[in-house]
Structure 1
Amino acid sequence: MSTLPSLPDTTQADGSSVRIGALVPLSRPGWVEAGEHLAAGLALGVREVNEAGGIGGQPLELMLRDTAADPRRAVAAVDELAGLGAAAVAGEYHSVVARAAAGRADAIGLPFLCSSSVLDALTEQPTKWVARLPPPQSRGWRVYADFLLGGGHDRIAVATQPSVYWASGTRILRNHLAARGGTVSEIDVSALAPETVCEELVRSGATALLLLVGHPEPAVPIVRAVRGDRRLAGLLIGAPAGQPEFAEWATLPNGDGAGIPFLRYLPERLTALGARVGAALRAELAVEPSFVAYEGYDTVAVLAEALRHGGADRARTAAAWSRVAVDGTRGRIEFSRVPDSNVWQWAGAPIQVVDRDPAQPDRFRVLHTG
């Protein structure tokens, strides 16, 4: 497990700085490793902006807040950060938390850049205050469904728990697969032992199981149970939400963390900036940086550009979403209004389906792009 990176000292002697807030999960039940990677990317981005002269000569000050994956904590943090003079707020990793934060930012008129969450309905109504870097769930999960179909999997089981995010993902998969003759059956694992999940899978006749559940519990116990059941030897295990992205999956016994396809928001090749940033993040985290770390860095690049347009005026900063054009670690970032979205969206966000190589679990294989 990596450690939280040290944040740059960005406060001038006279106390003047341009403050940005950041919401990240740094304690359980949040996905702590994801939070650490997001925080590392944010911190590196702030440090480099300040080394280049800051915003109009003023340094960026990063105010980090731990959400612990709790939407109520995120809403409270948005209010706190607004009261502390934040010019904008960014984050989060968990989609339901990002949705709560985005809704509150919209309500109080605070620019919010969604760094790493994909839930389509990020806000209830169209808003000028919110922009998003990652692709919406409907786009990414349709790419994943195409990958399944291309591999001959049209009878899919999903192990799921009650959640807006998981329900949305199940609906996207079911609709996309049904239009092509596929089926999706749900197994609510909330009150089921992993061994009982195996029995349900045998009865379903599914050729693929998708983990739409929390991490590490119950995701890891389910993987171990399925991999240990000879009746399910040919079953593909998938995790579109990206659980196997993080280093701890490479250390699961018997290679259980490998061969599980997931969505990753990286291009075939990083930009020259991305390669340089990747090296810096690798040194900071002491592990291979995930796509979430790159999202953190790109978040600061976007916010810095928007703040150069808007300065301390929050409305002017929000109005700059349509004018932002920056070179990020994963390509040129510009925002537009895309169909069925209430927020400003980077339409060119890259999508891959990858897994960990069973022969070398610390190496990723790109299986499909979209």
Structure 2
Amino acid sequence: MNTPSSPSGTARTSGSPVRLGALVPLTRPGWVEAGRHLLAGLDLAAREVNDGGGIDGRPLELVVRDTAADPERAAAAVDELAGLGVAAVVGEYHSVVARAVAARADALGLPFLCSSAVLDALVEQPTEWVARVAPAQSRGWSVFADLLLAMGRGRIAVANQPSVYWASGTRVLRDRLAPRGGSVVELDATALTPEALCDALVEHGVTALLLLVGSPEPAVPLVRAVRRDRRLADLLIGAPAGQPEFTEWAEALGVDGAGIPFLRYLPERLGPLGDRVREELHARLGEAPSFVAFEGWDTVTFLAALLRAHGTDRATVAESWAELTVEGTRGPVSFSRTPGIDTWQWTWAPLQVADRDPSDPSRFRVLRVG
């Protein structure tokens, strides 16, 4: 699915557009709701850039490509976008897809500002061509593990699916929990029915189940099965990848989907800019924007500022990630080198562990700030 976006605010811009490739999951098996929110943030920011005069008077144009959570499809899109002359590529939500995008962008010498994927190892070796707005998985999932320990939930089972992302998350959890007396049992969600998985949880005597699986399948059936099993009435369910953030989760599960801690990349309170953008995004989406929508807005806003300051030459963009700080919806965005991360990283992007309030699943509670 190819859906190039027309530049907006063209009354204040003229000349040939400055193009950005925008990669988002818009069809299954991609996480479509996350892709819709990401695109809303990217597009709103691009329109505001154009309303403010574009890039030195030239309109900013998003050239959108649907990755559908397919790494090969995404890598092919990077080749296409490079041929179309984009100044950089932005976006993506799925870590395994972002990894393929980063590798191809690095090989082609095309700047890639990743919006939402958190996998630490987005690239195999240090690169100047890739930067990331989202916090690294090792940081966020360590904060999540600390909350589990503080809650007395150190005996963990993870229901997982084969994936570099889920395997990496499991390692982070194990490395954080084991020195403090915690443990992690892995249960293959592709091999066990929800009922068989419940039996395994009882057998292992765990105190928490973490859903390292896709949503809505198989996450939603797993939650339903656990909630209905009286043997597991005291079991905590967690979802560090953020599944409960989205409206489809609440619509599918209702109160069963509440009280499930998850990671989200927001500050405790948004400032005036964040509040203003939240209202704009809410109007566009017809629902409260997720943290993914804010990540999209911050991505394009930062990159537009960089293009204005340093020009549209690809090599110059890659040399300039650390040259400026830009006010984003969730705080000042700046990039640096972080130990253990081979891309440029917004090191202190905000993060919190939250859940949906069982007494009102439409309301979020902040449980911990990292």
Superposition TM-score, scaled by structure 1 size: 0.96
Q: Please name the residue that 2:64 is paired with.
A: 64
Q: Please name the residue that 2:314 is paired with.
A: 314
Q: Please name the residue that 1:262 is paired with.
A: 262
Which residues in structure 2 correspond to 1:289-308 (within 5 Å)? 289-308=289-308
Q: Please name the residue that 1:160 is paired with.
A: 160
1:196 is paired with a residue of what secondary structure? helix
Q: How far did residue 189 of structure 1 move?
A: 1.2
For residues 15 and 54 of structure 1, what CA distance do their matches in structure 2 show?
A: 10
For residues 366 and 141 of structure 2, what CA distance do their matches in structure 1 show?
A: 16
Q: Please name the residue that 2:77 is paired with.
A: 77
For residues 53 and 308 of structure 2, what CA distance do their matches in structure 1 show?
A: 12
Q: How far did residue 153 of structure 1 move?
A: 0.7
For residues 310 and 316 of structure 1, what CA distance do their matches in structure 2 show?
A: 7
Q: Please name the residue that 1:229 is paired with.
A: 229
Percent identical pairs in the alignment equals 68
Q: How far did residue 309 of structure 1 move?
A: 3.1
Q: Please name the residue that 1:367 is paired with.
A: 367
Q: 1:238-274, CA deviations, whole angstroms, 9 ceiling, x for partnerless residues?
A: 0000001000122234511111100000001112111
For residues 42 and 62 of structure 2, what CA distance do their matches in structure 1 show?
A: 8
Deviates more, 1:302-311 or 1:177-186: 302-311
Q: Please name the residue that 1:16 is paired with.
A: 16
Contact 1:45 1:300 in 2 (8 A): yes
- In structure 1, runs of 5+ residues without a counterpart are none
Q: 1:87-136, CA deviations, whole angstroms, 9 ceiling, x for partnerless residues?
A: 00011100000011011000100000010010000110000010001110
Q: 1:287-308, CA deviations, whole angstroms, 9 ceiling, x for partnerless residues?
A: 1100000000000111101212
Amino acid at match of 1:343: T
Amino acid at match of 2:34: A
Amino acid at match of 1:230: R
Contact 1:249 1:258 in 2 (8 A): no
For residues 169 and 215 of structure 1, what CA distance do their matches in structure 2 show?
A: 17
For residues 260 and 157 of structure 2, what CA distance do their matches in structure 1 show?
A: 15
Q: Please name the residue that 1:243 is paired with.
A: 243
Q: 1:48-83, CA deviations, whole angstroms, 9 ceiling, x for partnerless residues?
A: 000000011101000111000000011001010110
Judged with a 3 Å threshold, the aligned counterparts in structure 2 of structure 1 residues 65 and 164 are, in CA distance, closer, same or farther, namely same
Contact 1:298 1:328 in 2 (8 A): yes
Contact 1:10 1:62 in 2 (8 A): no
2:337 is paired with a residue of what secondary structure? coil
For residues 14 and 317 of structure 2, what CA distance do their matches in structure 1 show?
A: 24
- In structure 2, runs of 5+ residues without a counterpart are none
Contact 1:274 1:330 in 2 (8 A): yes
Supply the RMSD in Å over aligned alpha carbons.
1.5
Q: Please name the residue that 1:111 is paired with.
A: 111
Contact 1:159 1:209 in 2 (8 A): yes
Contact 2:261 2:354 in 1 (8 A): yes
1:176 is paired with a residue of what secondary structure? helix
For residues 6 and 271 of structure 1, what CA distance do their matches in structure 2 show?
A: 32
Superposition TM-score, scaled by structure 2 size: 0.96
Amino acid at match of 1:9: P
Q: Please name the residue that 1:272 is paired with.
A: 272
For residues 170 and 77 of structure 1, what CA distance do their matches in structure 2 show?
A: 30
Whether 1:34 and 2:25 are equivalent positions in the alignment is no
For residues 254 and 322 of structure 1, what CA distance do their matches in structure 2 show?
A: 44
Contact 1:310 1:318 in 2 (8 A): no
